[in-house]
Amino acid sequence: MFAHHGYPVDIKAISLYEHVPTNEDVLARIVHIGHNALLAAFERTITRCDPDPINQVGELVRTHVLVHVTYPLLAIVATNCTTSPPVRTSEALALREHTEQIALDGDSHGVEQ
């Protein structure tokens, strides 16, 4: 907002490390944000979606694509940077597994029918 309106705030890149100790911590946070955003989008989709499994799968695919198109760099980082130490990525991986489970649930309901 400040940059958009041309207001100087005198923030430098090094200021980030006053709030986050290391590059790995920054990366872990970005990965967490990416997986959390996709999970939240999936949960919203499945909540408002028709219970028909074919519709659910279609809407989840649509949501997945929209999140990745809307936040392409975040999607790349969140998807590809899960090799950090397990302590830093375990929460993000749990979010990822939950997102995958939502997708699999929609798919398995379709198989049952």
Number of compact structural domains in the chain: 1
The answer to whether 56 and 104 have CB atoms below 8 angstroms apart is no
**DSSP summary character for residue 31:** H
With CA atoms as reference, report the closest residue to 112 among 55, 53, 50: 53
Domain assignment of residue 41, given as a range: 24-112
Inside any domain, residue 11: no
How far is 111 from 47, CA to CA, in rounded Å? 20
Inside any domain, residue 37: yes
The answer to whether 75 and 34 have CB atoms below 8 angstroms apart is yes
pLDDT tens figures, 71-111:
999 999 888 876 666 657 788 889 989 999 999 986 555 55
pTM: 0.74
How far is 25 from 7, CA to CA, in rounded Å? 29
pLDDT tens figures, 12-25:
777 777 777 888 88
